[in-house]
Structure 1
Amino acid sequence: MAHFDEKSGYIPCKTEWGQWWQTNEEVFIEVNVPQGTLAKDIKCAFAPKHIKIAVKGETVIEVGDLPSTIHSDEALWTLEDKKFLRVFLPKGLAVAENLWNSLLVGQYETDAWTFDQMEKKATLQKYQQENPGFDFSGADISGNYHKGGPKLSDK
């Protein structure tokens, strides 16, 4: 059986260096790197409230404050096809209410529509976790999301 995120897709926030997206439990960062980049060309530093990513001596993401803590000792990165750097950051607080509206405080922010879509997806993911016998990957949330609560409907 496919995992909820595989079936429902993800909501990316595009940046000048690539994109990032999140689930209730994790944040994923995808950095476009020059073709032919080797693992030894990549430097990633993770701390509970900070990250730094450099490729071939060029800083891609400066040290900055994360919106919430991560389990930095469980963070990891992979280089795929010598052209994509993928970073995995497990959130310290893994709940739908801990969605980040930016990758770093004041940097790489989502627009209002993208963040609303992230919130809707996180709520559906929460419903899926609370009700494992049901499939919410094709469901949609409509109505006034923040005030009055969401309403589920099938697409």
Structure 2
Amino acid sequence: MSAHFEEKSGVVPCKTSWGSWYQTMDEVFIEVNVPQGTSAKEVQCRLGSRDIELHVRGKQIFKGKLFDTTVSDEATWTLEDKCLIQIVLMKTNREAGNCWSSLLQGEYGADAWVQDQMQRKLTLERFQRENPGFDFSGAEISGNYTGGGPDFSHLQK
């Protein structure tokens, strides 16, 4: 069985004071470092289609409007090893051109280099989906990849 594209190609994380977030064409992943020994009862997490809120041990970690919309009933959070909260959000717009530049509107933004690397990765992921017989996980991309890269849909196969 072959691994998913993001498992083979790695992730492009956007580091924050509380952890990091990264994305694929379909999902946004949030990893929050919490004090060792944190229990699920000490975590309050609200995942909406346009907003998110996370409190741990009564302290607000983040709260605000998401960069773009998500499918709220497909969002999940888990507490791993009592020290890491993992949140998975399903993007509503699952096109390669929908590369989030920040987690929240105006907060936790990717710097220019990280944003560029995220867009490159989403473009390669799109190419992988369009060409399932090829492995793009170690590929490099240059040229016009902003907005999901060139559109080849008009070409005949």
TM superposition score normalised by structure 2:
0.90
* Structure 2 partner of 1:43: 44
Distance 1:12 1:99 in 2: 13
Distance 1:50 1:128 in 2: 31
* Structure 2 partner of 1:29: 30
SS at match of 2:20: strand
- Kept in 1: contact 2:42–2:58 (CA 8 A): yes
Distance 1:95 1:144 in 2: 16
Distance 2:42 2:119 in 1: 35
The runs of 5 or more residues in structure 1 that have no matched partner are 151-155
Structure 1, residues 127-151: CA drift from partner, whole Å, max 9, x if none?
001111111001110235449x67x
Aligned partner letter, 1:120: R
Distance 1:21 1:128 in 2: 19
Distance 1:4 1:101 in 2: 21
Structure 1, residues 74-107: CA drift from partner, whole Å, max 9, x if none?
1001111100000000001111111100000000
Distance 1:126 1:75 in 2: 22
Distance 1:146 1:123 in 2: 8
SS at match of 1:125: helix
Distance 2:115 2:130 in 1: 22
What is the count of residue pairs matched by the alignment? 148
Aligned partner letter, 1:102: S
Q: How does 1:11-30 map to 2 (within 5 A)?
A: 11-30=12-31
Distance 1:110 1:35 in 2: 27
* Structure 1 partner of 2:153: none
The answer to which of 135-144 and 118-127 deviates more is 135-144
Q: How does 1:54-73 map to 2 (within 5 A)?
A: 54-62=55-63, 64-73=64-73
* Structure 1 partner of 2:11: 10
SS at match of 2:73: helix
Q: How does 1:1-155 map to 2 (within 5 A)?
A: 1-62=2-63, 64-143=64-143, 145-146=145-146
Distance 2:143 2:49 in 1: 36
Distance 1:50 1:30 in 2: 17
The runs of 5 or more residues in structure 2 that have no matched partner are 151-157
Aligned partner letter, 1:143: G
Name whichever structure is richer in strand by fraction. Answer: 1
